[in-house]
């Protein structure tokens, strides 16, 4: 039987096989990373319940089920990147919303997602605030986009906006819908008018 220190050392060695050397021309899809990605893809975010994770995500954010599924897929990729990246990664706001919700599904998050799927702890640290942290997160986000492109191709701008847009200001706000009317901005309608 392995001691706790030996188990920790063994897990660290296993995780080291996932890390990408960004400067090298090594193949990004090694067998270890392919196996990790297959586990990530197999994780069930839509179990057969009255209100599953993805449905709740759609309901709580006013998203269509299709948009919620796309956000979950972006979250899967982000978590994979967090494991294989040699440096910290930063999510888009949409991916961060999915991550926040997953954290409240604590048994699924810690036992199944981190324990069985990722086989690593993935902590969510809040920003300490200030200009230095802002610069750090902007750099990490740009690096996350570059790593996403290397592994999965260009990220969707709807889910992963450009760095200057991501850090333009908070876009999500918790609102008590019983006290406020929430109207969508008529962006698509205005764009159609301007094209005429």
First-to-last CA distance in the chain? 73
Q: Which comes out higher in pLDDT, residue 125 or 192?
A: 125
Token couple for 17 = 């096989």
Rounded Cα gap, residues 56 and 39, in angstroms:
23
Higher pLDDT, 164 or 190: 164
Total domains in the chain come to: 1
Task: Round to whole Å and give the CA distance between 193 and 74.
Answer: 32
Using CA atoms, how far apart are residues 153 and 8, in angstroms rounded to an integer? 33
Residue 28 pLDDT grade (very low, low, confident, very high; cuts 50, 70, 90): confident
In order, the DSSP letters of the chain are ---HHHHHHHHHHHHHTT---TTS---S--HHHHHHHHHHHH--SS-SSSS-HHHHHHHHHT--HHHHHHHHHHHHHHHHHHHH-SS-----HHHHHHHHHHHHSHIIIIIIIIIIII-S----PPP--SHHHHHHHHHHHHHHHHHHHHHHSSPPTTTS--HHHHTSS-------TTT-------HHHHHHHHH-
Mean pLDDT score, 88-113: 97
Q: State yes or no: pLDDT of 1 exceeds 90.
A: no
Q: What is the pLDDT averaged over residues 80-99?
A: 96
Structural domain of residue 63, as residue ranges? 4-195
Of residues 17 and 122, more confidently modeled: 122
Confidence of residue 181 (pLDDT cuts 50, 70, 90): low
pTM of the model: 0.80
Band the pLDDT of 116: cuts 50, 70, 90. Answer: very high
Number of neighbouring beta carbons within 10 Å of residue 53: 20
Average pLDDT over residues 122-150: 94
> Residue 74 corresponds to which tokens in the numbers above?
């972006």
Of the candidates 78, 46, 62, 48, which has an alpha carbon nearest to the alpha carbon of residue 144? 78
Using a CB cutoff of 8 Å and minimum separation of 24, what contacts does 114-117 make?
A: 116/39, 117/39, 117/40, 117/42, 117/43
Average pLDDT of the residues in 57-69: 95
Q: Does the pLDDT value for residue 194 go beyond 90?
A: no
Average pLDDT, the chain: 85
pLDDT score recorded for residue 77: 98
Q: What is the pLDDT of residue 179?
A: 62
What is the structure's pLDDT at 11?
46
Please give the Cα distance from 96 to 125 (Å, whole number).
11
Render pLDDT for 3-25 as a digit per residue (tens, 0 to 9). 545 544 554 445 555 676 655 66
The phi, psi pair for 154, rounded to 5°, reads -60, 135
Q: What would the pLDDT profile of 31-48 be if each residue is shown by its tens digit?
A: 999 999 999 999 999 999
């Amino acid at each position: 039987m392995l001691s706790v220190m030996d188990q920790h050392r063994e897990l660290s060695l296993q995780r080291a096989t996932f890390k990408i050397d960004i400067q090298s021309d090594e193949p990004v899809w090694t067998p270890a990373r392919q196996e990790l990605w297959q586990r990530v893809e197999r994780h069930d975010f839509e179990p057969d319940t009255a209100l599953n994770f993805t449905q709740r995500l759609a309901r709580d954010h006013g998203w269509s089920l299709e948009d919620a599924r796309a956000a979950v897929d972006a979250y899967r990729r982000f978590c994979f990147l967090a494991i294989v990246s040699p440096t910290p990664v930063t999510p888009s706001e949409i991916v961060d919303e999915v991550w926040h919700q997953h954290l409240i599904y604590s048994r699924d998050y810690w036992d199944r997602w981190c324990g069985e799927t990722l086989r690593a702890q993935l902590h969510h640290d809040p920003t300490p605030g200030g200009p230095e942290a802002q610069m750090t997160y902007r750099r990490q986000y740009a690096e996350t986009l570059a790593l996403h492109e290397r592994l999965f191709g260009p990220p969707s701008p709807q889910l992963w906006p450009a760095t200057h847009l991501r850090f333009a200001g908070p876009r999500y706000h918790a609102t008590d819908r019983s006290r406020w009317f929430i109207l969508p901005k008529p962006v698509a309608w205005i764009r159609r008018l301007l094209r005429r």
